[in-house]
Amino acid sequence: DIQMTQSPSSLSASVGDRVTITCRASQGIRNDLGWYQQRPGKAPRRLIYDASRLPGGVSSKFSGGGSGTEFTLTINSLQPEDFATYYCLQYHDFPHTFGQGTKLEIK
């Protein structure tokens, strides 16, 4: 199975900051990776697919990068609604696997 190692597990930042979250795959997954945001008590929401593509309706403050084994999610100009938990998901092979999550908290 492909293991996804996400870091950091938690992150403290201020409104207006820019932050970057990283996911590393245990083997190459091309660009078969998505990023998801989950607010407390809510279902996840897709932010990025195919490592760097932004779905319609998602703010351009979110950007994704990387391919192969190393991937990043960058969030610009943090707003209060961005403080949530973020997950990566590889869908290159079955079983699909999520990273452990990054909880983004207000400093």
Partner 1 sequence: EVQLVESGGGLVQPGGSLTLSCAASGFTFGIYNMSWVRQAPGKGLEWISHISGSGFATYYADAVKGRFTISRDNAKDSLFLLMNSLRDDDTAVYYCARRTGVDWGQGTLVTVSS
Site for partner 1, rule CB under 8 A: 1, 34, 36, 38, 43-46, 49, 55, 85, 87, 89, 91, 94-101
User: Given the complex with partner 1, which of 24 and 46 has the nearer CB atom?
Assistant: 46
Q: How far is the CB of 101 from partner 1 (least distance, A)?
A: 4
Listed residue (59, 45, 89) closest to 71, CA to CA: 89
User: Given the complex with partner 1, which of 75 and 88 has the nearer CB atom?
Assistant: 88
Is the alpha carbon torsion for 17, 88, 23, 39 positive or negative?
positive
Q: How far is the CB of 56 from partner 1 (least distance, A)?
A: 11
Q: How far is the CB of 21 from partner 1 (least distance, A)?
A: 14
User: Given the complex with partner 1, which of 42 and 60 has the nearer CB atom?
Assistant: 42
- ∠ CA 42-71-58, rounded to 5°: 40
Burial status of residue 82 (CB atoms within 10 A of its CB: 0-12, 13-18, 19 or more): buried
